[in-house]
């Protein structure tokens, strides 16, 4: 009997147990042992497990954590296994999501579910302002925000961009052609024309009163405020489809919709988030672990997983299964997933993203100009990446 130790996080870890009986029936001799970690403790627990040589065989890993665990040499490269596996059809996966798992040309994870950010908006308020379709470009969006602001006065806003989240600014920044980090992740690239254009657009939304300078803590209940018309647009993720259905009053259910993100000139990119399935290099049952990943990657298993969690599947085939194909709110996500980009793939990214949020907050409050903010971000990023530069320079010149 081969036992595969599988760590999963939060809701996914709870529901994945119901997918196990089918797997164990079709794979006699393999037993899956699930451990459910809370998201808030998962990262620490994984690093501690690595330090203590007690990593699991397979794990759900947030895809921004993949570079870090690759830097630790903790993950098994999966290219050989993928080559001999008909079950995982690479071209069927959304390209941006697949790309999050490729570090220095090698594949370290198989996408399990995807997460991205796009617009949730009030159709009725947009119609009252004279628009019958969501924006496709920044300039269109600005016109809509201006019209909504003109109609609603000073105590209501066009869009909610919570200052305690870096994601809204990050997705707008990913739409630019320039990467956020330059030189293979050695240096910050925030002084590029593209990022400064994004930051100026972002800050402008606050300066012109389209967005309130608030954090989520100040907006006690986003769904109530959205229902009340306090704001018309909200950049958020797929879990809010379920929340909006549950929490918005019945009379508003026909009045909200999702839309792909508008970009600088036409439909824009968004972030390729979500979780991947990885195999730890210390595992002694890699073949059985790979079978488990193959099983979880089958379109019909992914459809059941979507029904259990609401998580969006990373394969196009799964999206044409009944259920997802008829979900009007998921449609914008399907469209957006064709245009998603990974966050910079360096282990230090989460720290840099934290700085991004803090500097953006100060810029919105008027402490910094856009150019000063960009320079400060580059300084922060360069300091955080100092060790990476040193390591890379040693690797090339031993």
Partner 1 sequence: MTRQGAAWLFVGPALAVIGVFFFLPVLAALALSFTDFDIYALADLANLRVVGLRNYVELLQRSEFWNALGNTLYFVVAGIPISIGASLGMALLLHSRFTRFKPFFRTALFAPVVTTLVASAVVWRYLFNTRYGWLNYALGSLGLPAIDWLGNPHFSMPAIIIFAVWKNFGYNMIILLAGLQAIPEELYEAARIDGASIGRQFLYITLPMLWPMLSMVAILTVAGYFQLFAEPYVMTQGGPLQSTVSVLYLMYDEGFKWWNLGSASSVAFVLFLLMFAVTAVQLRFARAGGAR
Which residues are at the interface with partner 1 (CB under 8 A)?
40, 43-44, 47-48, 50-51, 68, 71-74, 164, 215, 217, 220, 347, 351, 387-388, 390-391
Give the residue with the Cβ less far from partner 1, 219 or 285. 219
Smallest separation, CB 313 to partner 1 (Å): 30
Q: Is 226 exposed, middle or buried (0-12, 13-18, 19+ CB in 10 A)?
A: buried
Q: How far is the CB of 391 from partner 1 (least distance, A)?
A: 6
Stretch (H or E) spanning 60 = strand 58-62
Considering the complex, state which of residue 17 and residue 215 has its C-beta at the smaller distance from partner 1: 215
Q: Which is nearer to partner 1, 71 or 248 (CB)?
A: 71
Could you tell me where the DSSP H helices lie in the chain? 10-15, 20-26, 39-51, 66-71, 79-83, 95-99, 123-128, 138-152, 167-174, 193-207, 222-228, 239-247, 286-296, 299-309, 316-319, 328-336, 349-364, 370-384, 386-396
Residues 6+ apart with CB under 8 A from 4: 30, 31, 32, 33, 57, 58, 285, 288, 289, 292
Task: Please identify, using beta-carbon distances, which residue of 215 and 369 lies nearer to partner 1.
Answer: 215
Q: Please say which residue, 154 or 397, places its beta carbon nearer to partner 1.
A: 397
Minimum CB distance to partner 1, residue 233 (Å): 24
For 109-140, b/e burial (b = at least 16 CB within 10 A) is bbbbbbbbbbbbbbbebbeebebeebbbebee
Q: What is the closest distance, in whole angstroms, from the C-beta atom of residue 165 to partner 1 in the complex? A: 13
CA separation for the pair 57, 69 (Å, rounded): 14
Q: Looking at beta carbons only, is 18 or 390 nearer to partner 1? A: 390
Total H helices, total E strands in the chain: 19, 17
**168 contacts 357 by C-beta, under 8 angstroms:** no
Structural tokens at position 176 = 């630019």
Least distance in angstroms from the C-beta of 283 to partner 1 = 17
Whose tokens are 């665990």? That residue is 69
DSSP-derived letter for residue 133 is S
Nearer to partner 1 among residue 5 and residue 388 (C-beta):
388
Q: Give which of 241, 234, 287 is closest to 120, Cα–Cα.
A: 234
Q: For the CB of residue 215, give the shortest distance to partner 1 in the complex, in Å.
A: 7
Minimum separation from the CB atom of position 68 to partner 1 (A)? 6
Closest distance of CB 351 from partner 1, Å: 6
**By C-beta, is 73 or 284 nearer to partner 1?**
73
């Amino acid at each position: 009997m081969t036992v595969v130790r599988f760590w999963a996080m939060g809701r996914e870890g709870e529901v994945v147990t119901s997918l196990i009986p089918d797997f164990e029936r079709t794979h006699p001799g393999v037993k899956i042992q699930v451990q459910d970690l809370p998201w808030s403790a998962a990262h620490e627990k994984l690093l501690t497990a690595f330090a203590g040589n007690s990593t699991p065989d397979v794990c759900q890993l947030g895809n921004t954590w993949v570079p870090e665990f690759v830097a630790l040499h903790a993950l098994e490269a999966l290219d050989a296994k993928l080559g001999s596996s008909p079950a995982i059809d690479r071209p069927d996966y959304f390209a941006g999501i697949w790309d999050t798992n490729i570090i220095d040309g090698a594949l370290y994870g198989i996408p399990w579910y995807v997460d991205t950010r796009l617009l949730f908006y009030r159709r009725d308020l947009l119609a009252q302002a004279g628009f019958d379709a969501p924006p496709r470009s920044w300039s269109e969006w600005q016109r809509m925000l201006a019209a909504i602001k003109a109609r609603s006065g000073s105590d209501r806003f066009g869009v909610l961009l919570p200052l305690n989240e870096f994601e809204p600014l990050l997705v707008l920044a990913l739409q630019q052609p320039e990467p956020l980090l330059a030189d293979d992740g050695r240096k910050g690239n925030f002084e590029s024309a593209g990022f400064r254009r994004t930051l100026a657009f972002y800050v402008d939304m606050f300066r012109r009163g389209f967005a309130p300078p608030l954090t989520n803590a100040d907006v006690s209940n986003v769904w109530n405020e959205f229902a009340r018309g306090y704001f018309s647009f909200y950049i958020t993720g797929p879990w809010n489809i379920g929340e909006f259905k549950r929490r918005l009053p019945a009379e508003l259910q026909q009045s909200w919709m999702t839309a792909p993100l508008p970009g600088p000139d036409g439909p824009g990119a968004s972030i390729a988030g979500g979780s991947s399935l990885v195999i730890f290099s210390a595992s002694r049952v890699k073949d059985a672990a790979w079978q488990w990943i193959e099983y979880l990657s089958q379109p019909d298993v992914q459809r059941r997983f979507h029904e259990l969690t609401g998580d969006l599947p990373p394969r196009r085939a799964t999206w044409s299964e009944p259920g997802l194909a008829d979900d009007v709110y998921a449609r914008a996500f399907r469209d957006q997933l064709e245009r998603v980009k990974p966050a910079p793939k360096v282990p230090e990214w989460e720290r840099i993203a934290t700085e991004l949020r803090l500097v953006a907050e100060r810029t919105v409050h008027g402490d910094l100009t856009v150019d000063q903010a960009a320079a400060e971000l580059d300084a922060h990023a360069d300091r955080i990446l100092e060790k990476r530069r040193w390591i890379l320079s040693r690797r090339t010149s031993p």
